Amino acid sequence: MAYRHLFGPVPSRRLGVSLGVDLVPQKTCAYNCVYCECGRTTDLTCERREYVPTGRVIAELDNFLAKGPDLDYVTFAGSGEPTLHSGIGEIIAFIKDRHPRYRVAVLTGSALLADPDVRAALMRADLVVPSLDAVSEEVFSRINRPSPGITAERVLAGLLDFAREYPGEVWLEVFIVPGINDTEEEIRLLKDAVAAINPHRVQVNTLDRPGTDIRVRPAAPGRLARIAAVLGGEVIGAACTDRALPPVSGDLAETILATIRRRPCTPGDLAALLGIRPAEVAKHLRVLESGGLIEPVREERGVFYRPV
């Protein structure tokens, strides 16, 4: 079976070996964050609907998981906000009922957690990783650039309701954008919010790949560590796994292009993500670049390739 809505398995910086489930077209989201590694949001929306066929996603998952792959998580993430998909609860329930050995994680920007239907849809997930980048309205608007009607107050209220209702683990992510949400006042507000939410973990992140706004730069490691200490959290480290990933089968160039369309990657990232030799990656990158499909951009961690 050709998988249109699954990607990976990939070594995740937080979740070990993760099979990705992508429920919305690129780039459909309730935010247009300045730092997003998936690129600029082209469909800024709060509308929940069946963006891709629920039955097709379930069929792909059933086919893939029936083979018994060695995974740490099946993760709902990818090209935008997964909770926008009206069938996410049904898909999570299918995994837990049909393939109960697998843990389910959901990565969300938290924009829709004020909706009781969204919270109910996530109840059977094992782990939810929501984001909270700012508490003040002005800073929230500058960083997350939300769909109309979404406010920092509404996001925090949704997070508080979700944390009270949800039986699984909550790992709260805070993305630091230097010069915007790293002021003493905003960190104090975030600290108070973290105390109220009381997540199992707080993970502090910063730019690792090229973001939407080229002016956004990574936070300095020392500053990131100090903020993590104030929030009672940890800095997200590099991805690592001691397990070999299965090599990609099928059209390798298409797989590489699909991976880059989800987020910019270095050649080393692609080799690790896809379980293929660096020389093979380099060959296909040259072909894709000469065809005008991707372009290189140099960042602190190396040369990334992103879609044109």
Q: Tell me: the pLDDT tens digits for 189-236?
A: 999 999 999 999 999 998 766 566 667 788 889 999 999 999 999 998
Amino acid at 30: A
| pTM of the predicted model as reported, rounded to 2 decimal places | 0.81
- Is 6-244 assigned to CATH 3.20.10.10? no
Question: In the numeric block, which tokens belong to residue 283?
Answer: 């060959």
| Rounded Cα distance, 177 and 191, in Å | 16
Please give the pLDDT value at position 116. 98
Residue with the two structure tokens 């230097």? 178
Asked whether the predicted pLDDT for residue 287 surpasses 90, the reply is no
- Is 247-307 assigned to CATH 1.10.10.10? yes
State mean pLDDT over 70-93: 95
| Rounded Cα distance, 279 and 260, in Å | 17
State mean pLDDT over 88-104: 97
Q: Which residues of 162-177 are buried (b: 16+ CB within 10 A; e: fewer)?
A: bbeebebebbbbbbbb
Name every residue whose Cβ is closer than 8 Å to that of residue 255 and which is 6 or more positions away in sequence.
248, 274
- Residue 251's CB is within 10 A of a number of other CB atoms, namely 12
Per-residue pLDDT reduced to its tens digit, 136-183: 999 999 999 999 999 999 999 999 999 999 999 999 999 999 999 999
Asked whether the predicted pLDDT for residue 103 surpasses 60, the reply is yes
Q: How high does pLDDT run on average in the chain? A: 89
Q: Which residues of 89-110 are buried (b: 16+ CB within 10 A; e: fewer)?
A: bebbbbbbeebeebbbbbbbbb
All CATH 3.20.20.70 domain ranges of the chain, comma separated, are: 6-244
Asked whether the predicted pLDDT for residue 252 surpasses 60, the reply is yes
